[in-house]
């Protein structure tokens, strides 16, 4: 947890340093997810895509997106399929995310992202295995922006190495997210 806070502080400092060219970070978030015999907590930073990258503008809605950089902590509760044996994984990810939203950026939205993640070691938990440190992380979710700053979301997230190497049973999470935009 201390490393996650230090990384977030470093990101905020970098944001201030690049403020003359526009902020490096436009939002931060925290997530909590759960799956079979594993829990996940994640912190991240986001940057909206260039405003000219907007498609399907119609009836006050459009398709746009953002860049997402994250660091997560996974708590495995059945490591190597031994009940009660625990371990953890740290995961660093980068994901481009498409978002269908209102043009005023308020109210309901839907999003989809597919990104790359690197894990501190291989996942081996509850009869599931991911044999590589590199993983694809994809998600689909819905959320609501309450004002220009706060949003909440629920997502389904899947991790897999894309069958680069076996075993590759994948890990599926239900995730809740709380975000703040500057």
Token representation of residue 145:
């922006």
Instruction: Give 54-102 pLDDT, tens digit per residue.
Output: 888 889 999 999 999 999 999 988 777 777 778 889 999 999 999 999 9
Cα–Cα distance between 28 and 160 in angstroms, integer? 25
pTM of the full structure: 0.82
Instruction: Give 127-172 pLDDT, tens digit per residue.
Output: 777 778 899 999 999 999 998 899 999 999 999 988 888 877 888 8
Q: Mark whether 122 is an active-site residue.
A: no
Domain boundaries, position 89: 2-181
Domain of 33, CATH number, reads 2.40.160.20
- Among residues 72, 66, 67, the alpha carbon closest in space to that of 7 is found at 72
Cα–Cα distance between 11 and 24 in angstroms, integer? 8
Cα–Cα distance between 175 and 170 in angstroms, integer? 16
H/E element holding 157? Answer: strand 150-160
> Are 172 and 135 in contact, with CB atoms under 8 Å apart?
no
Of 52 and 18, more confident: 52
Q: Mark whether 160 is an active-site residue.
A: yes
Q: At residue 28, does pLDDT exceed 80?
A: yes
Q: Mark whether 172 is an active-site residue.
A: yes
Owner of token pair 């709380």: 178
User: What is the number of structural domains in the chain?
Assistant: 1
Find the catalytic residue in 121, 160, 163, 169: 160
Of 4 and 104, more confident: 104
Find the catalytic residue in 122, 138, 158, 169: 158
Per-residue pLDDT, averaged over 97-108, amounts to 94
């Amino acid at each position: 947890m201390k490393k996650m806070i230090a990384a977030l502080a470093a990101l905020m400092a970098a944001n201030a340093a690049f403020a003359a060219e526009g902020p490096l970070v436009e939002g931060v978030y925290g997530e909590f997810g759960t799956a079979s015999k594993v829990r996940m907590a994640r912190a991240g930073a986001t940057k909206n895509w260039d405003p000219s990258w907007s498609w399907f503008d119609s009836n006050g809605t459009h398709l746009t997106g953002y860049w997402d950089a994250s660091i997560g902590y996974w708590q495995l509760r059945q490591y190597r399929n031994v009940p009660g044996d625990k371990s953890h994984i740290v995961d660093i990810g980068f994901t481009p995310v498409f978002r269908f939203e209102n043009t005023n950026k308020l109210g309901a939205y839907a999003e989809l992202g597919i990104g790359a993640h690197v894990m501190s070691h291989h996942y081996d938990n509850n009869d599931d295995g991911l044999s590589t440190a590199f993983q694809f992380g994809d998600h689909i979710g819905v959320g609501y922006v309450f004002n220009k700053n706060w949003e909440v979301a629920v997502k389904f997230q899947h991790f897999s190495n894309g069958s680069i190497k076996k075993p590759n049973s994948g890990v599926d999470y239900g995730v809740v997210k709380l975000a703040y935009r500057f």
